[in-house]
Amino acid sequence: MLRRLVENSIASLAATLLLRLSSMALFIVIARKLGEEATGMFSLATTYSLICTAIAFWGLDQWLITKGSHDSQVAGQYWFNLGVVRLLLSVVTIALFAMLVSALQIYAPATTQIILLMSLTLIPDSLDDICQAYFIAVERMSYITLTSFILAIFRIAGIAVILLAQNITIVAVTWVFLSANLARSFIGVWLVYRRVTGFRLDFKLWGESLRWAFPFVFINATVILEARLGTVFISLQATEREVGLYSAAMNIVTGLQMLPRAFRTSISPLMSRLYVHDKEAFARLYYRSTLYLLMLAFGIIPIIIIVAPDLMLLLYKASFLPATLSLQLLVISILFRFLNIPSSRLLVLAGRQSLLAWFMVAGLVGNMVVCLGWMSRLGFAAAAVGELVSMGIYYVLSMIVAQAYVPMAYLFPRLGRVFLALTLGWGIGVILTATSFSVWLNAAIGFVLYTGSLCLLRAVPGEDVARVQQWVAHRMTFIKGKI
């Protein structure tokens, strides 16, 4: 179980890493070459495109993963039927969104043009997402890595064109983004098509899947709104420049989210099987996941907080420095995103996905209250506070319900050791920020001390340490034999 989880996590992490790095690189190039306003226009268009995906995606990928993880042939039939449904939903969503945006006329014509153009990415993204769900269900993570690598190549080629062009516009950049997504979706469909035979339309399956996945419309919409609500509020109360500044900070945090996303992708099929066949093994996996995700979050968050000003200067220009506070606030929300993974998947498997939707709504309301009440005083940094409040509300509520299935009291002793390591290691790192040393050096010292404290306090379960030592010894023996 542990070996398969690690292998799947590595493959999924590689795919997510390729995808996020290429996406971050494209965003950084836009920011450095076209400035804050163009960055804000591109980010706003991406925001509305993501909101549309909540409707078009409909949670059908979760249905495919849940039902197809037991039989590859069943997964193939679900892929074909749900892919057709996705195409229909995407076309209808784009048409309705275009009519709404044209009728409201909230933004300037140039911004509206970019928003409508970006909405076309919904079609390739919908197909790619359902293909990835198939690969996850049959545990072919290498295919996800392959399609992500192809997308990264196309984006890098687009970045080269942007850098070499003399007078490139944000419209041309949007076409680059759309073309890369189209290429990836075509290849993903071809890879699945080679593995699946006997396509047939099953309208009963359409109705069944739409009914089961309907709560995910609200869950996905709330997730995306929660993550992008700040961008929308800033665009309505300020200018595209402020949107660009806030998005620069969000771009860094979104890149960090590739770690929990990769873990969620790899753990989903394994949790689905264990929940049905072995509740005890499922509980062990749940506890281990929570523990290691917490350790990882406490290793990343303090680093970003300490180096935030230098990181903004390194990636962007000096004009983006006002977004430093937003970055420091946003990165704290990573803690809740990490810890939400096991509890959210548990509640989905327990059939409580509608409850998750309400938790998301509660978080969204908290986010809106903060944005409406504080944006006039804090500026666009209020959006970062709202994001933190929203994720905190969602985590607390979902964790309370999850206690009925896997009580967290079992983990309290080890969680105490992790918090103590955080205090000892990063406490010294924070104190060092008052010195004249490099902030990067201070962050490195803090991380080393934190890691050392985890080892000294034996926060990692002994059986897992023994497994790692056994694996290393086996590998060393293999290497010596080859030499």
Instruction: Give the per-residue pLDDT at 328.
Output: 92
Q: Which amino acid is at 447?
A: F
Spatial CB neighbours of 430, under 8 Å, sequence gap ≥ 6: 302, 306, 446
Residue in 9, 1, 4 with CA at minimum distance from that of residue 265: 9
- Residue 327 has a pLDDT of 92
Vertex 68, ends 67 and 69: CA angle to 5°?
100
Q: What is the DSSP track for 112-134?
A: HHHHHHHGGGHHHHHHHHHHHHH
Percent of the chain, pLDDT > 90? 2
Nearest to 91 by CA among 123, 66, 61: 123
* Residues contacting residue 160 through CB under 8 Å, at least 6 positions apart: none
Task: Identify the pLDDT of residue 34.
Answer: 84
Structure confidence by residue, pLDDT tens digits, 333-368: 888 888 888 888 888 888 777 788 788 888 888 888
Q: Which two tokens stand for residue 79?
A: 């892929």
Q: Return phi, psi of residue 396, to 5°.
A: -60, -45
Spatial separation of the C-alpha atoms in residues 53 and 432, rounded to whole Å: 44
The domains of the chain are located at 2-406, 410-483
Residues 6+ apart with CB under 8 A from 251: 24, 27, 28
pTM over 0.75: no
Asked whether 11 and 141 are in contact (CB, 8 A), the reply is yes
Cβ neighbours of 409 (radius 10 Å): 7
- For residue 458, the 8-state DSSP code is T
Contacts of 361 (CB under 8 A, 6+ apart): 218, 222
Q: Are 366 and 228 in contact (CB under 8 A)?
A: no
The CB density around residue 232, as the number of other CB atoms within 10 Å, is: 18
Q: Which residues of the chain have pLDDT under 50?
A: none
Residue 436, pLDDT score = 63
The pLDDT value given to residue 283: 83
